[in-house]
Amino acid sequence: MVDPIDQLADVPATRDRIDDTELDLIDRARQAGATWNQVAGALGLGSRQAAEQRRQRLAVARASRRKESDRRWPAEVAALRGLLTDLWRWIDADRRWDTRFPRAALTRRTTVLALEAEPGALYDLAARISADLPAADPGLPAPVRAVARHLAEALSTRR
């Protein structure tokens, strides 16, 4: 017989997995062209603002869990993930991102993967992002070019 206390102890991890799934589905729906009103309707929320706030809450919770997990690794891991988080914020806010340069859509997807990756894969994915991201492209917003430069510098010190 399964102990109810053991089952209760599993609830927080299950809640985290459900939250991560919800965040991923919201992001996939938005990337596929769904409006915030459509996302709100699918989630049973009353407004687009409520859907945006839900997504923000889920993203902050995920980042907090990742930050806690990164504490067991060298500080460079957290710094690299911080750079990629900054990059993701710019990508996510830019509705035209996928058309900005030839590998922009791939950079978007790779950044999402990198944010959840363990340190070894994090470095590999960050190197791929750095190679794909045109740091000197004047068509990119200045903050994105700055993140690209910092990312290249962080990766160069690891080699």
3-state secondary structure string across 25-91: HHHHHHHCCCCHHHHHHHHCCCCHHHHHHHHHHHHHHHHHHHHHHHCCCCHHHHHHHHHHHHHHHHH
Nearest to 139 by CA among 89, 96, 108: 96
pLDDT, residue 159, reads 53
47 contacts 8 by C-beta, under 8 angstroms: no
pLDDT in the model for residue 127: 94
The C-alpha angle with vertex 140 and arms to 56 and 147, in degrees rounded to 5, equals 60
Q: What is the pLDDT along the chain (159 residues), one digit of tens a residue?
A: 888 998 888 898 899 899 989 998 998 899 889 999 999 999 999 999 999 999 989 988 887 887 777 777 888 888 898 899 889 888 888 888 888 888 899 998 899 889 888 888 999 999 999 999 887 788 888 889 999 999 999 998 865
Which pLDDT value is given to residue 71?
77
Entry pTM = 0.65
Domains of the chain by residue range: 1-72, 73-159
